[in-house]
Structure 1
Amino acid sequence: MDMASFTGIVSGLSLIISAIYIGGDLHNFVNIQGLMIVFGGTIATTLITFQFKDVMAAFKAAYFVFSKDKEDPNEAVETMIKLSHISRRQGLLELGKVKTDSLFLKKACGLLADGSSEEVIRAALTTEIKSLQLRHFIVQDVFKKMGLYAPAFGMLGTLIGLVQMLSRLQDPSKIGPAMAVALLTTFYGSLLSTLFFLPIAGKLRSRTVIEIINLEIKLEGSISIIKNNNPVIIYEKLSSFISSRLRKPIKKANLKQKNET
């Protein structure tokens, strides 16, 4: 689980609820009509804007972000060095037998095993990376749009509440509930946007950046393998994608295997 996201949401909700509880009655901030207007309206407008499959993919991606830890680029570097050892000791054909859950890496190994040229490998893998960026952009845009729609429906709910309040001025007992709808819908819209939708879009974007870095590492690693670079050169080249303070040194035992060929 992504502890940063979990901690942020829990702490944010806790602070808001605590502030409400200290200042008065928590029940005053619960209004079914306001939730129907803001949440229901936001979901409905999102479905109008995007295809249903894109909305479902966005929510699945959000679940994945919160439930899975991000892949460490250092692991991608180490993986490519291990593949370079296999190619140097047993030949490129052995890379076609490598078992991996990464479809990108499987495609790269397949191209290497087939003896594809550097231009073919770079073109094929670059297309994969660009396609991933486009798919992820749509997923991020779903939550960005929801972050815009929620406050807008909050204002719409405020207008509805004001109209109801003004139409019932002759009955003072109904002014309070109407005013509650008017104010709480704005609160709900702002809360959903600032604490959920926009942060999730930002988290998805940061995950996309990290994933692209990992794919670029695998792409450049594949090019280095086809050029028969030794593991030391591959490590120095691929570690450039990682901040110097975050780089992990590869075990010397792994690097020394370059001399076994």
Structure 2
Amino acid sequence: MDLNTIIGGALAFILVLGAMAIGPGGVMVFVHIPSMIIVFGGTIAVIMVAFPVSDLKPIMKVMMVSALRKTSTPTEQIDRIVEFANLARKEGLLALETKLQTVEDPFFGKGIQLVIDGFSADTVRDIMELEAEWEDSRHGTGRKIVDQLGAFMPAFGMIGTLVGLVQMLQDLSDPNGIGLGMATALLTTLYGAMGANMVFIPVAGKLEMVAKTNQQLRKLMIEGVVAIQSGEKPQLIKEKLKGFLSPPMRALVDAES
């Protein structure tokens, strides 16, 4: 679980809502149903136009990935690969099956299963690279949806502002009409800015970082599994995989050794 995402997101809302609460009228002054309909309803509608329903169904799961997904670190993955390499070198590739149930990552587990099944190193690499490519493509669609939500929401805030101004200018002699128009004009802009800058844009950025980390791990796993299949020495595999790490992380791996 990524506590930075949860704490940062919660803190942003607490600060903004707290500032609203201590001002004149409290938080309820900022609750305006017509503005919500324009911003949130309009954003959902155009997202349905832009993407097929099959891509939209898992969108909440995609967003939760940024806060709740737990991934292994490169150093942890190197340790696991070296452990499997030692076992394969001592007892043979079929002995890896006894450790397969301890593997939590389906991608790494599939690679080890391919090795156990006796596929060649080239075949294992091809299958795993294709799997990684399709996985990144699927996740990329989710990131694109979140990114578009961050773009559409301020746009509908601006649309709501224009609607409110038109309502206000219809009859400047009616104080109630002026108040309704101004509320719609200002609050739609506020809702659009809050939704985009406090939720969707940060989440899209976090998903991008998660994707880059995941790609690095996938490449590391592919090289490690292929090296195991090829029967390379565990220490050589470890040195090769350290090339995926930054200098401080390489020093950490050496210290653990």
The alignment's TM-score, normalised by the length of structure 2, stands at 0.91
Is 2:230 the partner of 1:227?
yes
Match of 1:188 among 173, 188, 191: 191
Match of 1:205 among 201, 204, 208: 208
CA contact (8 A) 1:65 1:203 kept: yes
> In 1, Cα distance between the equivalents of 2:70 and 2:85?
26
Letter of the structure 2 residue corresponding to residue 3 of structure 1: L
CA drift at 1:152: 0.8
> In 2, Cα distance between the equivalents of 1:109 and 1:243?
26
Aligned to 1:82: 83
Judged with a 3 Å threshold, the aligned counterparts in structure 2 of structure 1 residues 3 and 75 are, in CA distance, closer, same or farther, namely same
SS in 2 for 1:14: helix
Aligned to 1:24: 24
Letter of the structure 2 residue corresponding to residue 208 of structure 1: A
CA contact (8 A) 1:154 1:188 kept: yes
CA drift at 1:22: 4.6
Aligned to 1:60: 61
Is 2:148 the partner of 1:136?
no
CA drift at 1:70: 3.3
Aligned to 1:259: none
Aligned to 1:47: 48
Is 2:5 the partner of 1:2?
no
Letter of the structure 1 residue corresponding to residue 204 of structure 2: A
Residue by residue over 1:206-243, the C-alpha shift from the partner in whole angstroms, topping out at 9 and shown as x without a partner, is 11111111111110001211232222111111122122
Is 2:35 the partner of 1:34?
yes
Is 2:155 the partner of 1:152?
yes
CA contact (8 A) 2:157 2:192 kept: yes
> In 1, Cα distance between the equivalents of 2:104 and 2:10?
32
Is 2:219 the partner of 1:216?
yes
Q: Give the unaligned 5+ runs of structure 2.
A: none
> In 2, Cα distance between the equivalents of 1:35 and 1:221?
51
Letter of the structure 1 residue corresponding to residue 206 of structure 2: K
CA drift at 1:71: 2.4
Two-structure CA RMSD over aligned residues (Å): 1.7
> In 1, Cα distance between the equivalents of 2:70 and 2:111?
24
> In 1, Cα distance between the equivalents of 2:69 and 2:125?
29
- Pairing of 1:56-135 with structure 2 (within 5 A): 56-97=57-98, 98-99=100-101, 100-135=103-138
Aligned to 2:253: 249
SS in 2 for 1:116: coil
CA drift at 1:9: 0.9
**Stretch deviating more after TM superposition (161-170 or 128-137):** 161-170
> In 2, Cα distance between the equivalents of 1:73 and 1:214?
6
Residue by residue over 1:142-179, the C-alpha shift from the partner in whole angstroms, topping out at 9 and shown as x without a partner, is 01110111011101111111111112323122211211
CA contact (8 A) 1:143 1:200 kept: yes
Residue by residue over 1:48-103, the C-alpha shift from the partner in whole angstroms, topping out at 9 and shown as x without a partner, is 21122312222112123312333212111111111101210111122345222322
Q: Give the unaligned 5+ runs of structure 1.
A: 253-261
CA drift at 1:113: 1.7
Is 2:171 the partner of 1:168?
yes
SS in 2 for 1:16: helix
CA contact (8 A) 1:150 1:190 kept: yes
Residue by residue over 1:112-137, the C-alpha shift from the partner in whole angstroms, topping out at 9 and shown as x without a partner, is 12332222111111111111111111
Is 2:182 the partner of 1:179?
yes
- Which aligned runs of 4 or more in structure 1 are off by greater than 6 angstroms? none
Instruction: State, as a whole percentage, how many aligned pairs show the same letter.
Output: 33
CA drift at 1:15: 2.2
Letter of the structure 2 residue corresponding to residue 138 of structure 1: T
**Stretch deviating more after TM superposition (178-187 or 236-245):** 236-245
Residue by residue over 1:180-204, the C-alpha shift from the partner in whole angstroms, topping out at 9 and shown as x without a partner, is 1111101110111111011111111
The alignment's TM-score, normalised by the length of structure 1, stands at 0.90
SS in 2 for 1:246: helix
